[in-house]
Amino acid sequence: MPRPFNFSAGPAVLPEEVLQTAAADMLDWHGSGMSVMEMSHRGAEFISIYEKAERDLRALLAVPANYQILFMQGGGIGENAIVPLNISRGGVADFVLTGSWTEKSFKEAGKYATAHVAATAKASGFTEIPDPASWSLSKDAVYLHICSNETIHGIEYQTLPDLKALGSSADLVIDCSSHIASRPIDWSKVALAFAGAQKNLGPSGLTIVIVREDLIGHTLDICPSAFNYELVAKNQSMYNTPPTWGIYVAGLVFDWVLRQQEGGLTGLAAVEARNIRKAKKLYDYLDSSSFYSNKVAATARSRMNVPFFLADESRNADFLSGAKARGLLQLKGHKSVGGMRASIYNAMPEAGVDALIAYLREFEKTAA
């Protein structure tokens, strides 16, 4: 029996091959006689898992040598506090509000820094990204925070803002939780990127922080030690016990991404090409139909999270039960937006998008 296609926004689909490897390793990892969950994080076995994961992620995202990769806990929501605790120095931080996640980040940062809204797309119902040329940047901001992919509203920056070109000396912080490893990151523009693992990388419980070294070492005294980037970095993410299982599974996913091939491309380039094709197919179908709609501006549409609505919302429950019966799972939209949402992360096969489109077409006919 093939597995159903899982469109959950997170925790979300993983490559089937990764799940199979994890299952085969479950009782005995590589002849060690131990499950990865049972290993000391300081033993040679786990250290080898950790080092390969770190190396593969660095290669995958072309992370420069002057950036540290930290494997932490606390999730994206934890980082909303951990980032200002570590890098704001109690000063000013600018925020561009493009949806629920940046609204949350802005609110939390205000506890530790002077948080300022540089721009907001609220008036549009969070269906667009305000033009960077119109942002009101604080003169003295230490950093500017954006969410490079708003998971709930389905908005994605197609290019990251160049703060220097906008006349700002602030460092750019990106919450890339829901599209990390789906496309390259331009490190010439980004000082700090963070991501919870459970959207595109692995199980929940692991948070990845990639931070330029000069931002480390300015932590506020009130920051809990386990969340102090300097202590975490100095201890190779083992100041406290790291989320070992999460690091192991994410490591399998990094290895999987690096091995992908697509029309002469390999690794992240191959995965990105597939993601572009998958998203285009789905948006093209939604746009061609008068029964379905996606309200996000064409220039800001996410490749990963596709919210959409039925013209007749009284059919929502029928739509979801029919989808489930066909092995198309977890398509219900977030409660704050309503409607439907198809999350089509790296691990969603193109066949899953094809099956979804076939079902959309079939359902539309029954609704006519």
CB of 16 to ligand PLP, least distance (A): 23
Using CB under 6 A as the binding rule, whether residue 199 contacts ligand PLP is answered as yes
Residue 235 identity: N
Sign of the torsion angle spanned by Cα atoms 150, 155, 158, 159: negative
Which of the ranges 173-181, 270-278, 314-322, 359-367 carries the binding residues for ligand PLP, by CB under 6 A? Answer: 173-181
Q: Which of 29, 56, 94, 101 is catalytic?
A: 101
Using CB under 6 A as the binding rule, whether residue 101 contacts ligand PLP is answered as yes
CB atoms within 10 A of CB 122: 13
Active site residue 29: no
CB of 140 to ligand PLP, least distance (A): 26
* Count of residues engaged in binding ligand PLP, rule: CB under 6 A: 13
Length of the chain: 368
Which of the ranges 69-77, 214-222, 237-245, 327-335 carries the binding residues for ligand PLP, by CB under 6 A? Answer: 69-77
Cα(123)–Cα(100) distance, integer angstroms? 13
Q: Which of 175, 256, 278, 332 is catalytic?
A: 175
Q: Annotate 38-89 with three-state secondary structure.
A: HCCCCCHHHHHHHHHHHHHHHHHCCCCCCEEEEEECCHHHHHHHHHHHHHCC
Which of 19, 34, 63, 77 touches ligand PLP (CB under 6 A)? 77
Using CB under 6 A as the binding rule, whether residue 203 contacts ligand PLP is answered as no
Which of 54, 108, 175, 272 touches ligand PLP (CB under 6 A)? 175
Phi, psi at 341, each rounded to 5°: -150, 125
What is the separation, in whole angstroms, between the first and last Cα of the chain?
Answer: 33
Cα(357)–Cα(364) distance, integer angstroms? 11
10: left (phi over 0), alpha (psi -120 to 50) or beta: left
Which of the ranges 41-49, 74-82, 279-287, 313-321 carries the binding residues for ligand PLP, by CB under 6 A? Answer: 74-82
CB of 267 to ligand PLP, least distance (A): 23
Interface ranges with ligand PLP (CB under 6 A): 10, 75-78, 101, 147, 151, 175, 177-178, 196, 199
User: Which residues form the catalytic set?
Assistant: 101, 175, 199
